[in-house]
Structures are given as C-alpha cells and as structure tokens.
Amino acid sequence: MISEKMKPFTSGSSAIRAMFEEGKRLATIYGKENVYDFSLGNPSVPAPSSVTEAIVDIAKNTDPCFLHGYTSNSGYEDVREALADTINKKYVTKFSLSNFILTTGAAAALNIIFRCILDNGDEVIAFAPFFGEYKNYVSLYDGKLVTVKPDYNTFMPDMDDFESKINEKTRAVIINSPNNPTGVIYPEETIIKISGIMDTAQKKYGKPIYLISDEPYRQLVYTGADVPFVTKYYDNSFVAYSYSKALSLPGERIGYVLVNNTIDGYDEMINALTVANRIMGFVNAPSLMQRVIGVCMDETADLEVYEKNRNRLYDMLTSLGFEMAMPDGAFYMFPKSLIEDDVEFCTAAKEFRLLLVPGSTFGTPGYFRIAYCVSPETIENSYESFKKLTLKYRGETK
C-alpha cells in the first residue's frame, strides 16, 4: 500500500539498524554483557559533564518561550556567530554566521544539500567503502550514486577510477574523512588530488561540481594526523558536521551545514538550504540543543577511550589472524572477512553473539565493520567469540 517510489528503500533497509535491533533482542535473551554488539556507531563514552551542566543551566535560567520557541530556520544567530568564530580561530578561515545552517545532525545536513543540488539522473560520486546511507540520501532526490573503488591496501581512493567515473552527469562528490567504515584519514595530498580532478572536470563540462565533506568524525583522530579543511582546497564545497560523535550526542540530532564563501551562487544556495530545512520538516535544529552547542562547541567527550579500544582490538584481531588497515580516526575497523561472502560471515558471527556489519553495506564486499565505540570490557570479553569464529572457518587461529 506504500508508494512505488518508497518500495526500493524499504526492501534494502539498513543492515546496521537491523543488527542494532538484533542486538537488543539477543541482550534480552543472553544478558547485555554476553552480547558483543559492534554494530552501531552509538558512542560508548558519555557526553562531557559540561553538556549536562549546560542543559541544566540553560533550562533553569532561560525564558522558556525563547528557549523552546521557533528559531530562524537556519538557527539562532548568536550560536552561528560563535560557531563562525570558533571555526575561524581553529582553521584560519573567514566565515560569518551566514555560512552556517544549524541542522538536525549530519544526516539532515546531507539531505538538505542533496535536495538543493540534485536533479533527476544527476550523479554523485562516493569513494568505497562509504557509509551505506549515502545511496539512500542520493536516491531520495532521484540522483544516482556512482562508486569509486579504493586501493585495498590503504583504503585511499583509486584516482584513475575516479577520473574515469567523473563525467558531465556528475553533480557532486562526497568524501568522509576520518572514514566510516575504515577509520582512514585523507591526507592533504589526497584532498589536493581530488580537488584537482574535480576542477578539471568543472572546466571541461562548464558547470559546478560540488565537494561535500561529511565530517562527523573530525575530532576523532588518534595519530595527531591533520584532517584538511576542504573549503581551503576547493571553492564549490560544503561541510556537513555533526556533534553526534565528538560530544556523544547522536540521539539529540544537532549539527550544521557550512557553505564555502566561494561557492557558485552563494546567496541562492544559502536561501535554498534554509527553505529546504523548513519545508522538509526539520523547521529548525532542536532549539535547546542549539544553545547547548553554543556553550560546548569547543569541547569533546573523553575520546581517549576509543584510542585504547582501537589499540587493544587491533592487537587482539591481528593476533587471531585478521587482516586490516590500522585506523587513524573515527571508531571503526574494517577487517577482511574470513570468507568471501561477508553477509554469511556476519550471520555466522551472530552464533557467537558477535554483531558485525557486512562490508557490502559499505559498497565493499569481502570485509566487515567493527564499531569499537563500546566498553573496554566488551572488547575483552569478545575475545573468545572472535576466536571461535576464526576456528570455525580456519580450524586454527593465525
């Protein structure tokens, strides 16, 4: 009874979300501590206490009509101004409040961008492996996601494949660094190469091609590596940001779109994004959380836990014979599946109460994702299960 247009989205559904629901089901049977749920990027580190303090302080000391009232569709002016200041200081940029539209998280940010730039049949290029929702986000606006294969040793984009895929239908390129699901960070030279190829294509086809940088993991970096700020390298660029991971607030739905000063048709684009935010039903980012961000935008949750998890899990899995790139950021690992069929592999893992997500969800079969935003105990306790899983397929570990 649902629309024909909606059907493809429901049949695909989300393997990640299905695992999340499966995890809750298994937890009621075996007890939460006996299920090793590595399925969802739901932060295990609490929001910093300053967030709780800000919520309490703001709720107690702000006129409720102002605090809970409609804001401008792009968000409170003072919060956006503070945001511009903090970004300018940190990244040596020149933004003002008008560059920012506060959104209900990065998912909303990407949806309003795609709504504003895509016409039927337009192509958006993503570099595999990529967050599976990109395909849905693009398809919702009748666009087509085109994928570029990685160098499987480094999980950097294969630039030859990228050059062969960019064409007159390409409307945008989306990157995600630190990356979900591999944890790799694109260094400056990669951003310069991507920008160069895009710029050549813009000139060749005589039309803008937008670079969209999806950056929910910008603060989650373990190696001191620099995450280049894309607006410095490419004029027609957007940043989609979320506080979900840095401040451990994924359920609150708060983030922003940053529109580069040098984007073609800046005013028209800002206006379109603002209208889209309204009519698509977001209206404005949740108002109390906007004000909390106004106070806490420079803070992060205690991200060291993730680094410790990363190190322990990497040691544990490589000792069992798993192969993977060491992640520099985010809280994901993307090891090679022990059998070719990654879906079958992840289904088998459930026998041992291990919840993993198949690589095919990220456009990269033969691998699987581990979200290590879990407690250190979950990692320790999962060892026996990973060992059993290895023995099932290899008869030995390593």
Q: Is 214 in the site for a second copy (CB under 8 A)?
A: no
Q: Which is nearer to a second copy, 335 or 363 (CB)?
A: 363
At 377, the amino acid letter reads E
- What would the x/- binding string for a second copy be over residues 34 to 73, using CB under 8 A? ------x-xxxxxx---xx--xx--xx--xxx-xxxxxxx
Q: Which is nearer to a second copy, 74 or 364 (CB)?
A: 74
| Separation between Cα atoms, residue 233 and residue 94, nearest integer Å | 14
Q: Is 206 in the site for a second copy (CB under 8 A)?
A: no
DSSP string, 301-331: --THHHHHHHHHHHHHHHHTT---PPP-BTT
Q: Is 194 in the site for a second copy (CB under 8 A)?
A: no
Give least dist CB 135 to a second copy, A.
9
Instruction: Count Cβ atoms below 10 Å from residue 395 Cβ, excluding itself.
Output: 7
Torsion sign, CA atoms 167, 172, 176, 177: positive
Give least dist CB 280 to a second copy, A.
6
| Separation between Cα atoms, residue 103 and residue 253, nearest integer Å | 8
* Binding test (CB under 8 A) with a second copy, winner from 3, 29, 206, 224: 3
Give least dist CB 9 to a second copy, A.
6
Span of 26-34, 177-185, 284-292, 376-384 interacting with a second copy by CB under 8 A: 284-292
- What would the x/- binding string for a second copy be over residues 8 to 37, using CB under 8 A? -xx--xx--x--xx----------------
| Separation between Cα atoms, residue 62 and residue 247, nearest integer Å | 22
Distance of CA 298 to the CA centre of its chain: 19
Ranges within 230-269 binding a second copy (CB under 8 A): 248-253, 263-265, 268-269
Q: Are 241 and 218 in contact (CB under 8 A)?
A: yes
- What would the x/- binding string for a second copy be over residues 110 to 149, using CB under 8 A? xxx--xxxxxx-x----------x--xx--xx--------
Q: Which is nearer to a second copy, 250 or 363 (CB)?
A: 250
| Separation between Cα atoms, residue 238 and residue 263, nearest integer Å | 8
Q: Which is nearer to a second copy, 30 or 66 (CB)?
A: 66
Residue entry with tokens 């895929």 = 165
Q: How many residues bind a second copy (CB under 8 A)?
A: 84
- What would the x/- binding string for a second copy be over residues 296 to 335, using CB under 8 A? ----------------------------------------
| Separation between Cα atoms, residue 109 and residue 88, nearest integer Å | 20
* Binding test (CB under 8 A) with a second copy, winner from 15, 101, 108, 174: 108
| Separation between Cα atoms, residue 242 and residue 306, nearest integer Å | 18
Span of 105-113, 192-200, 218-226, 381-389 interacting with a second copy by CB under 8 A: 105-113
* Binding test (CB under 8 A) with a second copy, winner from 5, 25, 204, 308: 5
Q: Are 164 and 146 in contact (CB under 8 A)?
A: no
Beta-ladder partners of 124: 145, 172
Give least dist CB 244 to a second copy, A.
8
111 closest CA partner among 137, 146, 73:
137
* Binding test (CB under 8 A) with a second copy, winner from 87, 166, 173, 289: 289
| Separation between Cα atoms, residue 123 and residue 210, nearest integer Å | 11
Helix/strand/coil for 218: coil
Ranges within 73-102 binding a second copy (CB under 8 A): 73
